[in-house]
Amino acid sequence: MNSSVNYPVISVDEVIRPTRVEVDLKILAENFRTIKKHVAPAKVMPVLKANAYGHGLVRVALLMEELEADYLGVAVLEEGILLRQKGIKIPILVLGGIWGNQIPIFIKHDLSITASSIEKLKQIDELSAQLKKKARVHLKIDTGMERLGVHYYHAEKFFEATLSCKHIIIDGVYSHFANSDDRDFSFAKLQLERFNEALSFFEKHSLPTPTRHMANSGAILQMPEANLDIVRPGIMLYGVYPSQEVKYTVKVSPALTWKSLVVYFKVIKAGNSVGYGMTWKPDHDIRAVTIPVGYGDGYLRAMSNKAEVSIHGKRYPVIGRISMDQIVVNIEKDSAYNGDEVTLIGVNGNNSITVEELADWAGTIPYEILTNINTRVPRVYKR
């Protein structure tokens, strides 16, 4: 068993925080293989942004390279640089927007750039010429997300502009779905039509069509026609579905478990309030335990007086407001001792607490739960 966090890197024997995340690399690998088989012959670009959805950027990237992933997708330049510094060799696409002074850094680290306008395309070409190198570029087309990219109805001028760029390599062209994980994904189908219409430029001009990609997790599950040349699985790679409305056509399993330990036991007398703001008090004497996790770790404050944890395979409620570093759990008349394991996410005995439940308690989505688990929480990796 190996253990690491983004900063600092530690061994399993040095994990002294009782609160930790365990990532099962075997499950993660199986999820990747399942997705790859499902979308074949399309290639797979695992998306590792936001610390690999809380699972640990570097360790997940090393696993994906071991599994011979074709590409990796990250959100920001710094994520790509870190992976190069850690020895990752496979192509990496930075999916986020750029600004001018970043371009030489992209080229230095052999990272593919998202070109989202004619102006940026020309800027990349000019700086590449100055450096006497070629930049790798993926062209971004906006088909309805209204975030990044050239609108599909202006794509022809964008594609024409590439023909005069002599210092770039067009590695791909892509778009992004706005609602492919909804029960009604008719707009996603319209977006795909718009994308294909824009791509007809290349056939009309007898030019090779760049590698195409558009399918995120929702589209992989519901729109096989969107697989194209590459798919970009994000949250489903980690075993969590993008919504409760999506069709579960591919079976994936959660790879992450979030655990802690009991560090204090007490009896709370009837009428005594618990936590900041005095939002909860018992009407009878109860037993309670303190767990060293809080919103400073990503255990969201919005879950106060709603969340549950599992101890000895039984669920217990979180009482009072969640603090930055601690929560209090009502175990009523049961017993728990210092050092007893507490499950925040994952299986505990015959009981399971899911990412989706935490999202419901917090009034948010599973993505936010996973990506909010702070890097001060050690990641422990199991093979």
User: Average pLDDT over the chain, rounded to whole?
Assistant: 95
Per CATH, 41-238 and 256-382 having the same topology is answered no
Give the active site residues: 49, 276
Count other Cβ atoms within 10 Å, centred on residue 258: 26
Q: What angle do CA 169, 174, 178 make, to 5 degrees?
A: 160
Q: What is the pLDDT of residue 343?
A: 98
Asked if the model's pLDDT at residue 11 lies above 60, the reply is: no
Which runs of E-coded beta strand occur in 167-326?
168-174, 212-215, 230-231, 256-261, 264-268, 286-291, 308-311, 314-319
Q: What is the pTM of this model?
A: 0.93
Q: What is the pLDDT of residue 9?
A: 44
Average pLDDT over residues 39-51: 98
Average pLDDT over residues 203-212: 97
Contact 343, 293 (CB under 8 A): no
CATH class of 41-238: alpha beta
Asked if the model's pLDDT at residue 4 lies above 50, the reply is: no
Domain coordinates in residue numbering, the chain: 41-238, 256-382
Phi-psi region of 317 (alpha: psi -120 to 50; beta: other; left: phi over 0): beta
Asked if the model's pLDDT at residue 2 lies above 60, the reply is: no
Q: Higher model confidence: residue 7 or residue 92?
A: 92
Superfamily grouping for domain 256-382? Lyase, Ornithine Decarboxylase; Chain A, domain 1 (2.40.37.10)
Asked if the model's pLDDT at residue 13 lies above 60, the reply is: no
Average pLDDT over residues 167-181: 97
Q: Higher model confidence: residue 9 or residue 195?
A: 195
Average pLDDT over residues 235-259: 97
Asked if the model's pLDDT at residue 359 lies above 60, the reply is: yes
Average pLDDT over residues 299-321: 98
Q: What angle do CA 304, 310, 314 make, to 5 degrees?
A: 120
